[in-house]
Chains A and B, each alone.
Chain A
């Protein structure tokens, strides 16, 4: 392990050294501190509470490499992945590389672009925000992300702009991603009173093995409102790690609707620390894990100030030899009176070889609060299966239908119809396989 760490550290230093020196501010200072941080903390292991159930041996064994290789891909295949509905703006990344030609944005009140351009242009308004919510990284992978970040989306919605149509952020992985560690970092900023709907998706054209290592920082200014629909449908051999950090100002509202369906190994952390009163954070999520899959959701909602509300509802379906990990922490700090925080996690175990490790947590230091969490692990109701069979469905179909019903509580939260249909399809297919 130590040798491995050394190799990584060296590769990181090498990478930072090789950055173009003349292209303006390439975040070199931040990258170097992140590299130091990585050397200091290394990779997570099972002794670290947050990684107790989520092994990374398989990921490290793959030996994914950070390169700046440009992808080769048939354009029409990527175009096919676009949302059918009209969008206010679109950002497309293929194998982590920004595709200016495929990206569009001509809506007033928003600017979309990529991080690499911002770095090249020394755009201080962007570069100075990087890391402000995420820090240097709570674990080695996040530190590595900052040290070697390649590109990412930068989305800004100006004050009081209310977008009717969604913004699409699309990540497509191709065959040429094989063996690569892709590092993207997204920055989403809504100014005062702005409201937007972001659809973020990760899809694959092939079944390549790659590692998508992402960090996303989302800051909502006072009264801003963001609906964030997020679908992870990576290649079945892929590794996907997302750290999402939210910063909500007074009366801001964030609604995240998440689906993690693809990838061999995926972990999503959503971290929100309330720092101003009157904000509201709602998180819905669906995860599906079958043979050879591990899916992990870590939620960390921190009520640091009074009068904020949070609600979380995550549902998981385990089939085949799938394994899921769920960890939902609600913290209410001293002084954070009048906090409302509720979390619910339900898991459906469909097979003998599946495994679920779930751990909701409450850490409460204020008294005038309403907090609760609940978690269940169970099966389909045999009565319901019987009922459907008595109406002529075969057992398998009945079970699929009921499983879909279980998932629909989250699927229905997706505002976009295409996404809803797509998800239902994928779930049906996966359960059938």
Chain B
């Protein structure tokens, strides 16, 4: 599964390929956060009063909370008053077709390789691209609409589908959940809303690309996916961000609701700017992602490939509420330079016969620090719950760190829970074997690492799997050997 050498070479010394800044005028609020700012955000977005109320409630609660400190990450304190909480492209394009979109913007996407063009569309990908905080282009909504699928920005959903938003927003991740979720609930800028009606198999993979473009602009995406009974949806999320010297905060919230027999597959490739090798700059990524398997036999699967960000704090979780529900978490997290990641999942087994699988692969290189933190909880009523967890860490170089912190809480005697974890480096035997068969050391390492991550890559949709492998190779460029 190694990359062809030419591709490898393309990435050699390409510092951070996506690190450029688009010259585009933005309408940005001055830094700072108070109730007035929240009112302004809500007003600019033309929100109804109930939404403003939700935001204010969350904000007032946030004021009473303290930033969590338990994660295995270190960073200078974040001054939440130096962040600007709203930014939108000034010239709002009409959405009739791509020609009307600011060509500068399109060129940016082109450079990033974002599949907004027609070729990608033909490949069956509908794209809701978020440029900073406001949706600027949406394709293929019509064919989705035919199937009854709603795929739009959160702002639009608040206006157009208030009943659905009222019913589900905050129902999986309440604003009181944690510090960053509270902040997000107060100031979220925009995000994606997906609704799949009963019995509908979403006809295409849904995809969103996030991008942070304004220096000092916090990004507070809010995503809500509702899969009605017997519906299926696969959602892809990919991220790149331009190079900036100052740290940028990202605190997203993603909520998934799966009703009876529904299936949601949520895949992420995260490649935000990780900062330089001395630890300057880079994104702070504090994300709350949670799926609620509310209906019996529902199924939620999280797959993530995390190669970017200076600090990652992220635990995509599943609440296995219904009977016979399935939760899955597949993760590859790479930290190099001075990157730090504290990531994992929670599998909360409440329903009978609920099953969960956790596969986590952590790769640490240079001074990177990688922690798996997971919770498997089997409630007293969760008869026949099953969990299998496999956490492997690969170390490259003697200054990196790999940690594993699984919490297992079982209150039901029929539960079967297994957790295994290993930590090791690429073995010299393996390297020698590959080199004896003619592969260069670099190709050998890349091949062994891709092999290490294969179980996770297998869970990604095809085109993402390729991208993920590329990212991995690029991320570890210069870190090996």
What's the minimum C-beta distance from A329 to chain B, rounded to whole angstroms? Answer: 9
In the complex with contacts A355-B410, A375-B406, A360-B419 CB distance below 8 A: yes
| Interface assignment of A358: CB less than 8 Å from any CB of chain B | yes
Contacts of B412 in A (CB 8 A): 349, 352
Query: Is there an interface contact between A364 and B419, defined as CB atoms closer than 8 Å?
Result: no
| Interface assignment of A172: CB less than 8 Å from any CB of chain B | no
Query: Is there an interface contact between B413 and A352, defined as CB atoms closer than 8 Å?
Result: yes
A367's nearest neighbour on chain B, judged by CB, is B395
| Interface assignment of B425: CB less than 8 Å from any CB of chain A | yes
Residue in A356, A367, A374 whose beta carbon sits within 8 Å of that of B421 in the complex: A374
Residue in B413, B419, B421 whose beta carbon sits within 8 Å of that of A351 in the complex: B413
| Interface assignment of A365: CB less than 8 Å from any CB of chain B | yes
Residue in B406, B418, B423 whose beta carbon sits within 8 Å of that of A369 in the complex: B423
What's the minimum C-beta distance from A63 to chain B, rounded to whole angstroms? Answer: 30
Number of interface residues of A (CB under 8 A): 37
What's the minimum C-beta distance from B214 to chain A, rounded to whole angstroms? Answer: 37
Query: Is there an interface contact between A356 and B404, defined as CB atoms closer than 8 Å?
Result: no
| Interface assignment of A404: CB less than 8 Å from any CB of chain B | no
Residue in A354, A361, A365, A379 whose beta carbon sits within 8 Å of that of B404 in the complex: A361
Query: Is there an interface contact between B413 and A359, defined as CB atoms closer than 8 Å?
Result: no
A327's nearest neighbour on chain B, judged by CB, is B407
State the CA gap A368–B412 with chains docked (Å): 39
What's the minimum C-beta distance from B360 to chain A, rounded to whole angstroms? Answer: 12
Query: Is there an interface contact between B424 and A370, defined as CB atoms closer than 8 Å?
Result: yes
B391's nearest neighbour on chain A, judged by CB, is A362
In the complex with contacts A367-B396, A371-B423, A357-B407 CB distance below 8 A: yes
Query: Is there an interface contact between A364 and B417, defined as CB atoms closer than 8 Å?
Result: no
B401's nearest neighbour on chain A, judged by CB, is A365
Contacts of A347 in B (CB 8 A): 410
State the CA gap A263–B420 with chains docked (Å): 31
Residue in A337, A358, A372 whose beta carbon sits within 8 Å of that of B408 in the complex: A358
Query: Is there an interface contact between A350 and B419, defined as CB atoms closer than 8 Å?
Result: no
| Interface assignment of A334: CB less than 8 Å from any CB of chain B | yes
Query: Is there an interface contact between B417 and A366, defined as CB atoms closer than 8 Å?
Result: no
Q: Which chain B residues in 348-402 approach chain A with CB under 8 Å?
A: 378, 380, 393, 395-402
B425's nearest neighbour on chain A, judged by CB, is A367
| Interface assignment of B422: CB less than 8 Å from any CB of chain A | yes
What's the minimum C-beta distance from B370 to chain A, rounded to whole angstroms? Answer: 10
What's the minimum C-beta distance from A3 to chain B, rounded to whole angstroms? Answer: 27
State the CA gap A337–B424 with chains docked (Å): 11
Judged by DSSP, the binding face of B is: strand
| Interface assignment of A397: CB less than 8 Å from any CB of chain B | no
Contacts of B171 in A (CB 8 A): none
Query: Is there an interface contact between A364 and B408, defined as CB atoms closer than 8 Å?
Result: no
State the CA gap A360–B420 with chains docked (Å): 10
In the complex with contacts A371-B424, A376-B418, A337-B407 CB distance below 8 A: no
Contacts of B402 in A (CB 8 A): 362, 364
Q: Which chain B residues in 407-460 approach chain A with CB under 8 Å?
A: 407-425
State the CA gap A88–B237 with chains docked (Å): 69
Query: Is there an interface contact between B407 and A359, defined as CB atoms closer than 8 Å?
Result: yes
| Interface assignment of A378: CB less than 8 Å from any CB of chain B | yes
Contacts of A102 in B (CB 8 A): none
State the CA gap A307–B400 with chains docked (Å): 19
State the CA gap A352–B410 with chains docked (Å): 11
In the complex with contacts A364-B403, A367-B395, A372-B421 CB distance below 8 A: yes
| Interface assignment of B405: CB less than 8 Å from any CB of chain A | yes
Q: Which chain A residues in 394-421 approach chain B with CB under 8 Å?
A: none
Query: Is there an interface contact between A371 and B416, defined as CB atoms closer than 8 Å?
Result: no
State the CA gap A349–B409 with chains docked (Å): 12
State the CA gap A372–B401 with chains docked (Å): 15
| Interface assignment of A377: CB less than 8 Å from any CB of chain B | yes
In the complex with contacts A362-B423, A364-B393, A378-B408 CB distance below 8 A: no
Contacts of B423 in A (CB 8 A): 362, 364, 369-372
Contacts of A360 in B (CB 8 A): 404, 406, 419, 421
State the CA gap A373–B419 with chains docked (Å): 8
State the CA gap A371–B396 with chains docked (Å): 15
B420's nearest neighbour on chain A, judged by CB, is A374
What's the minimum C-beta distance from A133 to chain B, rounded to whole angstroms? Answer: 25
B418's nearest neighbour on chain A, judged by CB, is A376
Query: Is there an interface contact between B408 and A368, defined as CB atoms closer than 8 Å?
Result: no
Contacts of A371 in B (CB 8 A): 422-424
Contacts of A29 in B (CB 8 A): none
Add 8 more A-B contacts to A337-B398, A361-B405, A375-B408 (CB < 8 A).
Answer: A350-B413, A357-B407, A357-B410, A359-B405, A370-B423, A371-B423, A376-B419, A378-B416
Q: 7 nearest interchain CB pairs?
A: A367-B395, A362-B404, A377-B417, A349-B413, A371-B423, A372-B422, A374-B420
Binding site for A on B (CB under 8 A): 70, 378, 380, 393, 395-425
